[in-house]
Amino acid sequence: MALVRIDALHKHFGSNHVLRGIDLDIEEGQVIALIGRSGSGKSTLLRTINGLESFDEGCIEVDGERIHPHETDLRALRQKVGMVFQQFNLFPHLTVGQNVMLATRIVRKLGDAEARELALAMLDKVGLREKFDAFPDQLSGGQQQRVAIARALAMQPRVLLCDEITSALDPELVNEVLAVVKTLAAEGMTLIMVTHEMRFAREVGDKLVFMYQGRIHEAGDPQELFANPRTPELASFIGSIN
Amino acid sequence: MNDISTWDIARNLLDGALWTIGLSLTAFVLGGIAGLLLLFARIARNPLARRLAQGYIEVFQGTPLLMQLFIIFFGGSLIGLEISPWLAAAIGLTLFTSAYLGEIWRGCVESIPKGQWEASASLALTHVEQMRYVILPQALRIAIAPTVGFSVQVVKGTAVTSIIGFVELTKTGSMLANATYQPFLVFGFVALGYFALCYPLSAYSRILERKIHGSRAH
């Protein structure tokens, strides 16, 4: 049984049909790399999985939690789905530790000591334990993004969504974030990432999903697809980024 | 008729100024509470709440304060309610203040980047929790300077209540001017009184603004 099931998903932005029937099953522990040109619907697809975007038809199921079009009660789903954003989106008025602890205390209702311990463990995982009392603007972009990962992990999600998480970083900071993601993948975390890091997608991804005009145009083993794209659209996309 | 000394004038004006301060504080505190409710209605998901709050704000921002006071003062007696000038002034200024503060604060809330809403939503916080822990603490910092700045408008707004007979600084001034035939002296004092109340507020607002723009986000 797949951990994430996406079934005949359709979405419109006004007259623009951005998702045109997406079917996608994701197994526990899989690392999915979503690629495609801007406007292909890859970010929109990712954002529907935790309800940041609504959809018009179809169904999404994560670990038994089903959501239907225009669902408004998303709390249970969001506890199973973590998300990391391109712009980090740390809470600037809170320290690193408070950023990581906020939702574990409010949503998961952990006590102070327990929340603190968990936050320290998560920060340890991303190598930033000593930044517990720092404020976000005292950190580099790469460090901020690692805190954002720790914050999402502290909710102990079943799936982690990553929306172009290295796109806003200076080139020399990209690797420290990718290294964290790689560790998560190795530990068996289920990851769905929209990414432009093709080398990373090829190395770490279990499945490559190429989106084109609101549909999944091609999907399969990353090594194979990069070596032998079956469609001219994927071939031209790979050609354009190399 | 010149048995009213300058000292008497000053003493009476000081009494009036106390009423001006009292009315300003009342309007500001009650208007702040009502403004907070308006803010929540303005950014609520319920479209009816949003529209009602917007209508309220448009009415109070789109009509002169004096007309609002007339309607409360004379409208009250029309339906048989005995409304004193003090009560009419307090109600009128409170409503006026709430409409402006609600709108100022909505601007502050809306200036918080969308990513803050999305990140807190993705952590499974409810709408109220997002407001309480993520949005309002940040919006509050931005709101302090314009809020203090607006308090100057409230203080000056109290002068209008003299027209419905509430005896505050301006009304005291016009009564003294009539009694002493020295309007220039009296209203000079009155103006000084308003300046003494307003200048510290606007200076403080400027300091706060500089502090917030010059400092880091915490």
- pLDDT tens per residue, range B23-47: 999 999 999 999 999 999 998 889 9
For residue B5, pLDDT beyond 90: no
Instruction: Tell me the per-residue pLDDT of A152-176, one tens digit each, with 9 for 90 and over.
Output: 999 999 999 999 999 999 999 999 9
- Inter-chain contact B123–A50, Cβ cutoff 8 Å? no
Q: Please, are residues B97 and B35 in contact by the beta-carbon 8 Å criterion?
A: yes
Question: Which of A52, A89, A135 lies nearest to residue B116, judging by beta carbons?
Answer: A89
Would you state the CATH architecture of domain B6-213? Answer: Orthogonal Bundle (1.10)
pLDDT above 70 covers what percent of chain A? 100
CA distance A203 to chain B (A): 28
pLDDT value for A128: 97
pLDDT of A106 above 90? yes
Radius of gyration of chain A (CA): 18
* Confidence grade of residue B214 (pLDDT, cut at 50, 70, 90): low
Domains of chain A: 4-241 (3.40.50.300)
For A111, the 3-state DSSP assignment is coil
Query: Is the pLDDT reported for residue A73 higher than 90?
Result: no
Chain B interface with A: residues with Cβ < 8 Å? 113, 115-116, 118-126, 129, 133-134, 137-138, 141, 216-218
Among A50, A87, A92, whose Cβ lies nearest the Cβ of B122? A50
Give Cβ neighbours of residue A170 (< 8 Å, ≥ 6 apart): A141, A142
pLDDT of amino acid A240: 87
Q: Find, in chain A, the residue whose alpha carbon is nearest to that of B134.
A: A91
pLDDT tens figures, B169-184: 999 999 999 999 999 9
Q: Which of B112, B122, B212, B218 to mutate to test the interface with A (most CBs of A within 10 A)?
A: B122
Interface test with A, best of B111, B123, B133 (most A CBs within 10 A): B123
Q: What is the pTM of this model?
A: 0.86
Share of chain B above pLDDT 90, in %: 81
- Write down the pLDDT at residue A242: 66
DSSP chain B: -----HHHHHHHHHHHHHHHHHHHHHHHHHHHHHHHHHHHHHT-S-HHHHHHHHHHHHHHHHS-HHHHHHHHHHHHHHTT----HHHHHHHHHHHHHHHHHHHHHHHHHHTS-HHHHHHHHHTT--HHHHIIIIIHHHHHHHHHHHHHHHHHHHHHHGGGGGGGT--SHHHHHHHHHHHHS-HHHHHHHHHHHHHHHHHHHHHHHHHHHHHHHHS---
Quick one: what percent of chain B has pLDDT higher than 70? Answer: 96
* Tens digits of residue pLDDT in B88-141: 999 999 999 999 999 999 999 999 999 999 999 999 999 999 999 999 999 988
The helix/strand/coil state of A137 is helix
Q: What is the mean pLDDT of residues A37-48?
A: 94
Q: How far is A136 from chain B (nearest CA, A)?
A: 9
Q: According to the model, what pLDDT value does residue B212 have?
A: 74
Tokens 């100022």, located at residue: B104
Mean pLDDT, rounded, of chain B: 92
Interface ipTM above 0.90:
yes
When pLDDT is cut at 50, 70 and 90, the band that residue A4 belongs to is very high
